[in-house]
Amino acid sequence: MQKVQGSPDRRVSSWIMLLLSAACGLIVANLYYAQTLVGPIHDAIGLSSAAAGFIVTVTQIGYVIGLLFIVPLSDVIENRRLTVIMLMVAVAALLTAGFAQTAPWFLSASLFIGIGSAVAQILVPLAAFLASEEERGRVVGSVMSGLLLGIMFARPLASFIAGIWDWRAIFVISAAVTFLLAAVLGYALPYRKPSPAVRYGQLILSLGAILHRTPALRRRALYQAFLFGAFSLFWTVVPLHLADTFGMSQSGIAWFALVGVAGAIAAPMAGRLADRGWSRRLTGLAMVTAFMSFLLIHLFASHSVLALILLFISAITLDMSVSGNLVISQRAIYSLGSEARGRLNGLFMSIFFIGGAIGSSVGSWSYAQGGWKLTSLIGTLLPVLALIYFLTESRTTGAKNITVTKNQM
pLDDT digits (tens, 9 = 90+) for 329-353: 877 776 776 556 667 777 888 888 8
| Nearest alpha carbon to residue 286 among 315, 324, 312 | 324
Residue pLDDT, tens place only, 124-176: 777 767 766 666 666 776 777 777 778 778 878 888 888 888 889 999 999 99
Residue 288 pLDDT > 90: yes
Confidence category of residue 183, pLDDT binned at 50, 70, 90:
very high
- Beta strands (DSSP E) in 17-140 are none
CB-based burial, 236-253: b 16+ in 10 Å, e otherwise:
bbbbbbbeebbebebebb
Mean pLDDT of 188-217: 76
Residue 268 pLDDT > 70: no
274-to-130, 268, 283, 394, 400 alpha-carbon distances in Å: 19, 10, 10, 18, 15
182-to-31, 63, 84, 157, 174 alpha-carbon distances in Å: 17, 18, 5, 21, 12
Mean pLDDT of 196-210: 74
Residue 5 pLDDT > 70: no
For Cα atoms 396, 399, 402, give the angle at the middle one, nearest 5 degrees: 100
Residue 11 pLDDT > 80: no
Highest mean pLDDT among 111-120, 241-250, 387-396: 111-120
End-to-end CA distance of the chain: 28
371: left (phi > 0), else alpha (psi -120 to 50), else beta? left
d(CA 178, CA 151): 15
d(CA 353, CA 31): 11
* Residues 139 and 128 sit within 8 Å (Cβ to Cβ): yes
Predicted pLDDT at 266? 67
* Residues in contact with 379: Cβ distance below 8 Å, sequence separation at least 6, in sequence order: 230, 233, 234, 294, 298, 363
Neighbour-count burial of 42, counting CB atoms closer than 10 A to its CB (0-12 exposed, 13-18 middle, 19+ buried)? buried
d(CA 32, CA 150): 9
**128, amino acid identity:** A
Predicted pLDDT at 404? 46
Predicted pLDDT at 116? 93
Q: What residues are paired with 191 via a beta bridge?
A: 3
- Contacts of 12-17 with CB under 8 Å at 24 or more apart are 12/127, 12/130, 12/131, 12/135, 12/139, 16/130, 16/188, 16/190, 17/127, 17/139, 17/142, 17/143
- Please report the sign of the dihedral spanned by the C-alpha atoms of residue 13, residue 17, residue 22, residue 27: positive
Q: Which fold has domain 14-408?
A: Growth Hormone; Chain: A; (1.20.1250)
Mean pLDDT of 398-404: 45
Q: What are phi and psi of 248, to 5 degrees?
A: -75, 145
Query: Residue 67, Cα to own-chain centre: how many angstroms?
Result: 11
How many Cβ atoms from other residues are within 10 Å of residue 196's Cβ?
Answer: 12
Predicted pLDDT at 132? 63
